[in-house]
A and B are shown apart, each in its own frame.
Chain A
């Protein structure tokens, strides 16, 4: 439930975040960009895609790419079973709304967070995965790593596209 901020310099009311689990860690993304959560289904491979882009899926008639966040964040051993979850998100791009799916181990709760409680991510060196971390927030005793969805997709898909653009025309 959003409560009005008591501090006049606070930037916004609380926002809602969907938390999910990858390996041992808990991550969170803003609720407004979440389209749906679905179970695993077979994905069609895409040639020349980065390793963590598994392929594309038929999402009610649209062709939507699927990214395995577990691979992206360095999990060595990934299984695809009926209980594997895909979170479908939508981001706004210059070309309009773009949807994509993220494979995670499991989905947890929706929590409210206050922007002022978000701590900046420690500088762990510029690794591919750390670039899309917006910040950290302590929730009920453990750390939730907040992700910036736009940075996630911006790098992966535009990298794939740029790759093609540089091939001999």
Chain B
């Protein structure tokens, strides 16, 4: 009766990686010398469950390594060993090694086995040193069944149990017996399956199994025999004291595991040690405090359907506006109620895809610690708002840009201890990672109290790269904007951490791809702040609908600043026919959308239409449109599925009347409009 175990591998890997993350973050916050016992326990449980799963699924090396780790952790949690800094470092290295092994097992790639063996030896050496105990055998797969920790005077008992065939009929449960035994010490159970007949001839009521058990316990022999008191005389029981025979670390042992193991351990405590039999129903990992794992496709399907619902509702709404007669009032109030329900449904469904940003932020403490050590700088990382939730896809894609910003801060922003002391600053630099909700967006900030952006160096490099001419006078914002140019870097020497100049422009394009924007605020000598604003979701956008000619376009609210009606004398035409107008202390160019899209507008006179000030690509322009039609949430529909990419257009949507409206990509629009003007 073999069941294909590989179908459960995915869940094992997912949960093991999650468990390792927990282990790492717990280790980083552990106070050496007086560690929180619950933390040490948590770390122990991680090693234990990965060991169990590793053994179940036949990942021998993982099981073996985590077994050594578990032994060390057992010493730590029973306080027979103290938690020291070197041990902490060793445990952190173990996390890396386990990640490598799990990753290798998952992708069926090779991994550095030498590093594993080395680390395992280090672990065992430490255990031996601190305990003075010579009997550590790395290949023993021992189970801790609620053991109280073997006292030095423990004996290894070898127990053989061969029940008679009518064993089950008397209502005796071998698992209960083994649990009792387990309370006396640490127990290894091995089932002997040689008496099992062929499936067709087997009588399920008869017992064909026998067991050999190995119990390490300090209990007296009488106590052990007492456990088997209820056995009928027909059963064979042998009990010998002696040295342990290491049970093979095969998939047939490690059967009984604590019910709290988050890893899909094969067997429930009520099943005998013939562990190869795994019932799929039990493999679903016990949920932690009421959560379910759901495939992303299911959620996306749900979101799509809700999106369609929103569109259908908009259509019905519009039709209902034109209905007259006795039913009209009832219909309209019904539609309003429907709209409230829809909005709630939509928000709930969107939230299903949202995860706290802590899943991304949690990578950073370790990275900051390692990088600061490597660069010989002292850096403290402060994180706030880690419970802020983001859409899963946004979360996945924002990780790398944030990583880059933090690395930059440590590498270029924070000065070394000497420079900081000279500048009268605290020798330990601070980097803060903040996330919060603002209106309908998420705001993530990466800031440091380092040296800030060096404007002169930036301008000098920009001139050298030909991005800026000698005579251009740039405002402070424009200088800071320069760092987003492709290939730009002011690092004197490219380190392997940063400085190759492939950074900031990629960060910006990653952010804009997510429908967001990034701004930099910096003060020389005081520090820099990078502020990323992202939409809450990728499926829906808050839009301003505008009319240009007979077409309707949607402007994302995130990019819109203000809309105004210009008077004729507010517009000036300069040099090559370009029009500009004054807006809040600067002059912005006018982009006539009807010209850009090749349409016939309602009016060509700027003062008879409307100008909407938008920003993107670090610039602001005024878009000239015929009318503003309203503000609404629109469902984003891809244009690229059946057509392709269009300059200036990010996607499309379906309006209440069933027609298609295009959603403008403001940054793209601004860039290409400027390009066209220049041409």
Query: A residues touching B (Cβ–Cβ < 8 Å)?
Result: 42-49, 55-58, 61-65, 95-96, 98-100, 157-158, 160-161, 164-165, 167-168
Contacts and interface: CB of A to CB of B under 8 A. Distances in A.
Contact of A63 (B637, B648, B671): B637
A164 B637 CA distance: 19
Interface residues of B, number: 29
A140 B311 CA distance: 47
A157 B597 contact: no
B639 interface: yes
Interface string B638-663: 11011111111100101000111110
B551 A45 contact: yes
A167 B672 contact: yes
Contacts of A56: 639, 643, 652, 660
A137 B423 CA distance: 87
Name which of A48, A63, A168 has the most chain B CB atoms within 10 A of its CB.
Answer: A63
A149 B525 CA distance: 64
5 contacts: A44-B662, A46-B649, A58-B654, A168-B672, A168-B675
Which 7 interchain pairs have the tightest Cβ spacing?
A: A161-B644, A44-B660, A65-B643, A63-B652, A47-B597, A98-B642, A58-B654
B308 interface: yes
Contacts of A63: 637-639, 641-643, 652, 654, 660
Contact of A164 (B599, B644, B671): B644
A48 B669 CA distance: 13
B8 interface: no
A13 B599 CA distance: 50
Given A47-B597, A56-B652, A61-B654, A164 B645 contact: yes
A47 B637 contact: no
Contacts of B642: 62-65, 98-100
Contacts of B308: 61
B659 A47 contact: no
Nearest to B672: A167
Given A47-B597, A58-B658, A167-B672, A160 B644 contact: yes
A99 B675 CA distance: 33
Given A58-B658, A61-B308, A61-B654, A158 B646 contact: no
Contacts of B641: 62-63, 95-96, 98
A27 to B, nearest CB: 22
Contacts of B662: 44, 46-47
Given A44-B661, A56-B660, A63-B660, A167 B647 contact: yes
Nearest to B304: A61
A55 to B, nearest CB: 8
A57 B637 CA distance: 12
B326 interface: no
A3 B391 CA distance: 56
Contacts of A57: 660
Contacts of A158: 644
A18 to B, nearest CB: 20
Contact of A48 (B646, B658, B659, B660): B646
B598 interface: yes
A55 B550 CA distance: 13
A88 to B, nearest CB: 10
Given A56-B639, A61-B637, A46 B646 contact: yes
A164 B647 contact: yes
A167 B648 CA distance: 11
A44 B549 CA distance: 12
Nearest to A65: B643
A45 B652 CA distance: 11
Given A63-B643, A167-B675, A168-B675, A47 B598 contact: yes
Contact of A61 (B311, B596, B661): B311
B306 to A, nearest CB: 12
Nearest to B638: A63
B322 to A, nearest CB: 18
A52 to B, nearest CB: 14
